Structure 1
Amino acid sequence: MNPMQLEAALAAAREAAEAAAEVIRHYWNRGVAVEIKSDDTPVTVADREAEQAIRKVLHAALPDAAIYGEEFGLDGARDGLLWLVDPLDGTKSFVRRTPFFSTQIALMDRGELVLGVSSAPVYGETMWASAGGGAWLGGERVQVADTADMAQASISTGNLKTLAGDARWQTLAALVRDSNRIRGYGDFCHYHLLARGSLDLVIESDVNILDVAALAVIVREAGGIFTDLDGQALTLDTRSVLAGTSAIHAQALRRFVGA
């Protein structure tokens, strides 16, 4: 995509996220019934209507782009331009009246992530980024911290069930021991904190690409590094995350790869 096309696509993604926010706020205020999907995860009318609102905006803006959404699957081909959409990431939090949920919208151009919008309407934050355009919170450009020493690092974790079942659990234990502090903000929140310099490392082992694609663009454009736990670039099959400042990510990756 050329810069003008990318700018237009980012504007569409932000518009789509706001359309979803209107749906989500509506159901947040009135409450919803909860259904259980075949994978034992919850879904609500808010998830479905938010995705429909997003798809309407994105299709109008880029009618030739495919859309891969959490609730309605893939519409179009995966090669070329592909929107990645999770309309309500954190449904479990949403239904339990905890404001740690968000709308995630990213765009892939021939396998490369080029923009992302992360909107947390009840929490009260929206971040966005595009390739080469920096990462933004509201009207302010954000940057990761310059932390270089693990003894000074703040680490946040989430979704660690898989990690708990293999040898890397001991690697995580060593990181906890050697770091300055450990937290578990989870979902969008710890990536927002990382991108604006309030955390230094995020570790997750049970994710879906729709959960983290937009956040990866944001963290990278804020100057951070975002890979899986093996140090590999994100793909549609990514299931883990290691994201952090350049120095702290490198130190953590050496430990995990050697585990």
Structure 2
Amino acid sequence: MASAELEAALHAARAAAAIIRKAFRGNFDVQYKADASPVTEVDVAAEKAIKAELQARFPSYGFYGEETGKDHADAEALWLVDPIDGTKAFVRGYPIFSVQIALMRAGELVLGVSCAPCWNEGLGELVWAQAGQGAWRGLLDTPLAQFERLSVSAVDRLGHATLSTGNLATLARAPQWAELGRLIPQLHRIRGYGDFLHYHYLAGGKIDAVVESDVNILDIAALAVIVREAGGRFTDLDGRAPGLETRTVLATNGRLHDAFAGLRLGAG
């Protein structure tokens, strides 16, 4: 049975998805942030819709959004939201972007909703997870009772494993780049699916590990819950649980996590 928090997050994600679908491949204003990343009027409208829904149902909870910033972020329960993770893809008209909504309680991620509204030839994909309830996937407009439970793969050897990578600029400048180069020839396959997609694939057993740097907690908070509840393991490259300051990711089916230990960036 869906909790009231999960129901709110799902309703908010679907409200944002409706805004995004209407605008996809249409005309909208694009601005650029200080870091040169794009933001559109659609990002802002989608986040406002999410925030309105969540705050109406849970007014005492904090909110931390990619576009509207922090509101009572010191609250014990904190919503973490990226209304369009993958805005560059959205702007260029290809569907590898998603709505990300997570709930952090007392510093622990306990709920995640990842909604790709234009994936699957426009049918969309919705994945949710809540602590102790598993991870579940279905089409965007499908009733929850028809969702399928996700499970990571049973692959336990690098020689049989597929790794997906993304956002590797920082890692490419670090000594650990050589370690990644050492690991790659041992793998069965390497891919670069990116954004929500490689985490959905990991949770569903289609790939076995993901390595990323240069991430923001809002990008990966919901996905961390989903991978964990599908039976996997999700840390930063130093083996720490994800938190507000997380900037790197090592996500695996759990069986392969220790095989990537050489990628540790160090506490600094």
- Give the TM-score, by structure 2 length: 0.92
Deviations 1:153-210 (A, max 9, x none): 0000000000000111011112211100000000000000000000100000110000
Distance 1:29 1:99 in 2: 10
Amino acid at match of 1:146: A
Paired position in structure 2 for 1:130 = 130
Tell me the residue number matched to 1:40. 36
Is residue 61–residue 75 contact of structure 2 (8 Å, CA) maintained in 1? no
Q: Is 1:140 paired with 2:136?
A: no
Q: Is residue 248 of structure 2 the alignment partner of residue 240 of structure 1?
A: yes
Query: C-alpha separation between the residues in 2 aligned to 1:175 and 1:64?
Result: 46
In structure 2, distance between residues paired with 1:238 and 1:256 = 15
Structure 2 counterpart of 1:32, one-letter code: F
Does 2:167 correspond to 1:159? yes
Partner of 2:12: 16
From 44, 47, 51, the counterpart of 2:47:
51
Correspondence for 2:63: 67
8 Å contact kept, 2:97–2:196: yes
| Distance of 1:223 and 1:150 partners within structure 2 | 18
> Which residue identity is paired with 1:169?
W
1:155-234 correspondence runs (5 A): 155-234=163-242
Which segments of 5 or more consecutive residues in structure 2 lack a partner in the other structure?
139-146
Task: State the alpha-carbon separation in 2 of the partners of residues 91 and 169 from structure 1.
Answer: 27
CA contact (8 A) 1:147 1:200 kept: yes
Matches of 2:208 and 2:111, distance apart in 1: 22
* Contact 2:64/2:73, CA 8 A, preserved across alignment: no
Tell me the number of residue pairs that the alignment of Structure 1 and Structure 2 aligns: 254
Residue type matched to 2:55 in 1?
H
Paired residue secondary structure (1:67): strand
Read off the aligned partner of 2:180 and give its amino acid letter.
L
1:80 equivalent among 76, 80, 91 = 76
Letter in 2 for 1:150: L
Distance 2:27 2:110 in 1: 35
Shift of 1:78: 2.5
Q: Percent of pairs identical after alignment? A: 55
Structure 1 residue 257 corresponds to structure 2 residue 253: no
In structure 2, how many angstroms separate the alpha carbons of the residues matched to 1:77 and 1:94? Answer: 28
1:258 to partner: Cα distance: 8.8
Is the 2:39–2:87 Cα contact (8 Å) retained in structure 1? Answer: yes
- Displacement after TM superposition at 1:252 (Å): 1.0
- Paired with 1:29 and 1:177, the residues of 2 have a C-alpha distance of 39
Letter in 2 for 1:59: Q
Instruction: Give the whole-Å Cα distance in 1 for the aligned partners of 2:264 and 2:167.
Output: 19
Question: In the TM superposition, what is the alpha-carbon distance from 1:77 to its structure 2 partner?
Answer: 3.1
| Partner Cα separation in structure 2 for residue 92 and residue 7 of structure 1 | 33
The answer to which structure has the higher helix fraction is 1
The answer (yes or no) to whether the contact 1:115–1:131 under 8 Å persists in 2 is yes
Does the 8 Å CA contact 1:79/1:111 hold for their aligned counterparts? no
AA in 1 matched with 2:4: A
The secondary structure found in structure 2 opposite 1:30 is coil
